Amino acid sequence: MMDSLHKKDKEETKLKLIKATGEIFMAKGYSGLNASRIADTAGVSKTLVYRYFGNVQELFKAYLIHKDYWISFEDHMDELLDANRHESGKELAKSTLVNQIQYFLHSKEMQQIIRWQITEPNDISRSVADSREQMGEHMFGIIDPYFKDSDVNFRALMAVSVAGIYFLVLNAKINGSTFCGIDLNKNEDVKEVEKAVKQLVDLAYEKVKS
């Protein structure tokens, strides 16, 4: 009983530290992170930062993983792959892109994380990017065979789609401006972009059939 309570307290404290890290990162950026400030914000002892995470860098990495859309697939990846294997991942690719639009559009933290990662390259951001790639490789494992020996590079299509989503959202949220007349601050334009990414995936799969 005591062991289970201790484990629960530990997990709750770790979540407090991760949450505090996010609050500081959003307010002051990565340079504003230090063990004392994080512990004070979380309302716990500074020693717990080192006990549970080793150092501030590993704590920040845990925060990034906690918030990252792509890495969130890890816990139910096998289930997703089994449910979509029969159609070579077509619906999985479409739902993944549509859900990414919604997640990125409504997560200010994820928007800030992506901005930080492309403007301040470092070992932490590279590590998280590599984790994203690993999740992507699981999905491509059921998609790649469908496009083998075809002239459709589905990985390139996904790369352009994901990067385009990042840019369209950041452009709308930071600049409040349109891109090709598209403004993701408008619900109707969000729906159009969602429709477009699904059409791209359908066209790619249909091209291989023809």
> CB of 167 within 8 A of CB of 182?
no
> CB of 157 within 8 A of CB of 200?
yes
Residue pLDDT tens, the chain, 210 long: 444 546 678 889 999 999 999 999 999 999 999 999 999 999 999 999 999 999 999 999 999 888 888 777 777 778 888 888 888 999 999 999 999 999 999 999 999 999 998 888 788 888 888 888 888 898 999 999 999 999 999 999 999 999 999 999 999 999 898 999 999 999 999 999 999 999 999 999 999 976
CA distance 46 to 193: 45
**pLDDT of 65:** 86
- Percentage with pLDDT > 70 across the chain: 96
> CB of 135 within 8 A of CB of 77?
yes
**pLDDT of 170:** 95
pTM, to two decimals: 0.85
**pLDDT of 182:** 96
CA distance 69 to 140: 17
**pLDDT of 6:** 62
CA distance 157 to 134: 18
**Full 3-state SS string of 115-132:** HHHHHCCCHHHHHHHHHH
CA distance 62 to 56: 10
